[in-house]
Structure 1
């Protein structure tokens, strides 16, 4: 059976291949209104547990990280505990750029995460995403992905506090090429004008990155 196994959380964000399989079988959410409920209804049987895609993200992969702010505050997120799986959960801000729900605002392809090259994969996917989204306008406004607003506490210098917009921009700048990194850092710290890019709740079917596509970056 070539189906992805969501129980392999130690090998990376299992949500992505599981989501690819769900989209292939059922199609992506048909509308933005169906978006949230979709991820709570699709579930996998892992051991004696039934784990939804939403639980996989928020209760296992993101268990050691902050809860989402604003856009999901009026919805009830899953609160199940999977102690036997949460031992694999780590606080790694790069997960925010690797977890991909299929939104049109996110990359169209995802890898199969592998334990032996996981750190390199997390780094490359985060770098690819931020280099294609972070912008500085002609009037020195820094534009960064909305995920920085939703999970600001993940990017703070200390646990338990919310990172400022400037801190978020500086974090994003670390993944950019030198010229862009300097431009973003100077604009953020000098003009302190930072905006968050809009996020689309319309989804598409994701494709998988092949080992050949990932090999030069995850070696």
Structure 2
């Protein structure tokens, strides 16, 4: 596994995904607010898990392929859950931890679920670390997007989404991101968050209600 390098993770892949040809799930709101799930299929998850199991046995090429297959999911998750300015570093840290832990991966859950759980812990550690310092933002606020991303297809929708979800609670935001943005099942999202499936359903419902409530004033005023 020495051949796989976490620093090979591309920088800021998340914004380009806004223009991907996936099936969007629309929430009523200004400028047409869309969540673009990654529409991973069961066969995709099985293939990624197979790569992780092979990497666990020391296959360096499998590890590199595993990182390539999952890096976009990780970047998008940490960017929306924390902030875009920290997303590259948090993605890097997630894969460093995953590389250290992958020899113990035994597929009790899918590799994607396992990796996103690591990413969630990385974000939690990051938030605890910076909480004592003055902060001017919550979540992935648009002003933290790098200049190159401002020209990406779908930037306006990205700004819309990041602004609105930043005002959700952390629990609501991560449940919504896992199920609506990354396309995880409620069961897999519950495994990532370490809570019952019913709790995830409740958090997603409350997040949707909050987003719709935020959108209504703009719809009424035009």
Into which bin does the TM-score normalised by the smaller protein fall? under 0.3
Q: Tell me the TM-score normalised to structure 1 length.
A: 0.28
**Greater fraction helix:** 2
**Bigger share in strand:** 1
- The TM-score with structure 2 as length reference comes to 0.28
